[in-house]
Structure 1
Amino acid sequence: MGPDVHRMLKKIVVFATLSVSAYLMIAVGLILSQWPTPIAPGETLEFTSLTDQGDQQNTTSELIAYRARDGADLSLRHFPTAAPTAPLAVILHGSGWHGAAYIPVADYLSRHCGSEVLLPDLRGHGVAPAIRGDVGYIGAFEDDLADLIAAYRRPEQPVYMIGHSSGGGLVVRFAGGDHGSVISKAVLLSPFLKYDAPTMRDDAGGWSHVLVRRMIGLTMLNKIGLEMLNGLTVIQFRFPRKVLDGPQGATATTGYSYRLNASFAPRDDYLADIAELPRFLLLAVPMMKPSTLHCSSR
């Protein structure tokens, strides 16, 4: 190998080193340039239905635990049914809150539609999560849900997955992932697909405050396999003051880490995840009251 080749290789190495260094400096600079700060409460979402009335209607709606593959005990509410051929319906809550908001719906499906219903508090949410607003890795929700279904599903029992808002996005992500084949049907209620999807309102209608520069910096690091900063907060939620100061205020999850936020939404190519959905019903409307629901075998 001649001296000209050596000089060329040296230039290539120097250029590559400088390029990687510049890339890392930009990414880290973006991350360090933005930190979570207190945000004003918002009134963009309706929370008046978030009560414990469902607990008074159905004694089986108390929180119980199931064991995930990493040994963590995660919380859920279980609504059994006497119907021998009942499908297993899994209801996924939206961002910032937990399964308690959907107790009346789960109760209705169990009592009147003959469905066995699982209503989990997703990891990082609920009454007393190990770490609020965070998960261990991107994709943790999918594994947790697969473990939940495996713990309760009877042989050949069809699985219906129902998701509201970010929970709807998680249904889409689940369908496009390694465990998606277990879903027989899916119901999406105002699902979150992606920040730039045509269904998305600016700033989620004022509900969310995204730390955009930090999000970009962390995305850059993840593109080259660097995940050590994925526990940093990248999004905050504007809960109404009456919720934060109310009896359930301590159960609100007001911010998400990068890895939890990524776990809660479809992948970047969300259309590919959507393509993996089974036969499903898309309802682009606010969450319905149980009295407006109608059971159907279709």
Structure 2
Amino acid sequence: MILTILKRVVISVVITLLVAVALVFSQSPRKMAGEGGLDFTRQLESVGDAPAPLQSVPMRDGYALQVRTYGGADDVPLLVLVHGSGWHGLQFDNLGKALQGKADIIVPDLRGHGTAPGRRGDVDYIGQLEDDLADLITAVAKPDQKVVMAGHSSGGGLVVRFAGGQHAEMIDGAVLLAPFLKHNAPTTRQDSGGWTQVLMRRIIGLSILNTFRITALNHLPIIQLNMPKVVLEGTLGHTATTSYSYRLNESYAPRSAYLDDIAALPPFVLLAGKTDEAFYAEQYAPTMAAVTDKGRYELMTGATHLDIVDDPRTKAIIEGFLNEF
């Protein structure tokens, strides 16, 4: 009887794994149009002729994380700015300069992103982006300095993930700029409004394999980003990331139980444009306030998903928030 049960269990597991592998290889990336996604024109224009230079900060594995810094003053918090998907730290060059003196500002090119040759690559394991941010804070924060972490889009999702993870105690506040909460959250539009192409069958297959702790295929791409041609052609020397592996994509977003990560957030302010093309801005407050009372929500008339970063109202709201630390 026991042998029969074990045989059935083994057969079920084998069938499940075969189905998972079949799902993984039933989809593959396709060429993206480079049109119909987000408009990066103003983002490109916001970077001046003399952007802040890159510097290196070593991570625990020896990786040289590329960062930009914007000087602060005495008795100000550390502000870590986390860029959105497909992009890099230059997204915050204008905002970083505008907030100089209000915080010690550091902006990393997340692992898997950036303009420095040989510094893109991929993460090695799920959760490595959190470890990198923790290493960065440890390397640059002054004794007893308050730490505020801010992020745009997927960068905001990474801030939420960080708050729900093992390094949560390292941040005292958060600024969320139109954050990605999860693909199935009420805030997310289909394919993020044409910004992404998601290989859903591959994701399902890899999720099943990871349930069995099989990670050998986690390097495969599972999401493509519809970066516009003006970015892909390297305008102003910028370099885009056009696809994410399973392990990078998982590292860059809240966990499956995303409401638990949201509930763990420290005091935060959330900003979104009322004309956001990627997310339903009006859904942030009801979704997040259901699990936390630590947030303030600001919806900006006339601002799009990318506009929110350089909107003068954003600078003013962040300044006010920083003054609380």
Q: TM-score, normalised by structure 1?
A: 0.91
Shift of residue 67, structure 1, vs aligned partner: 0.3
Paired amino acid for 1:94 = G
Identity %: 49
User: Which residue of the other structure, out of 248, 259, 280, is the alignment partner of 1:260?
Assistant: 248
Paired amino acid for 2:256 = D
Distance 2:266 2:167 in 1: 13
The aligned runs of 1:155-194 (5 Å cut-off) are 155-194=143-182
Instruction: Show the counterpart of 2:79.
Output: 89
Query: Are residues 54 and 244 of structure 1, via their aligned partners in 2, closer, same or farther at CA, if it must alter by over 3 Å?
Result: closer
User: Which residue of the other structure, out of 274, 286, 289, is the alignment partner of 2:310?
Assistant: 289
Paired amino acid for 2:38 = L
Instruction: Show the counterpart of 1:240.
Output: 228
User: Which residue of the other structure, out of 65, 69, 88, is the alignment partner of 1:74?
Assistant: 65
Shift of residue 282, structure 1, vs aligned partner: 1.1
Contact 1:190 1:284 in 2 (8 A): yes
Shift of residue 44, structure 1, vs aligned partner: 2.4
The answer to whether 1:20 aligns with 2:10 is no
Q: Which runs of 5+ in 1 are unaligned?
A: 1-7
The count of aligned residue pairs is 286
The aligned runs of 1:94-243 (5 Å cut-off) are 94-111=84-101, 114-128=102-116, 130=118, 132=120, 134-243=122-231
Contact 2:59 2:136 in 1 (8 A): yes
Q: TM-score, normalised by structure 2?
A: 0.84
Contact 1:170 1:265 in 2 (8 A): yes
2:231 match: secondary structure: helix
Q: Deviations over 1:27-65 (max 9, x none)?
A: 00001111112121123212113337645466xx10011
Paired amino acid for 2:192 = A
The answer to whether 1:32 aligns with 2:53 is no
**Which has more radius of gyration?**
1
Shift of residue 240, structure 1, vs aligned partner: 1.1
More displaced, 133-142 or 189-198?
A: 133-142
Paired amino acid for 2:98 = Y
Runs of 4+ displaced beyond 6 Å: none
Instruction: Show the counterpart of 2:281.
Output: none
CA RMSD of aligned residues (A): 1.7
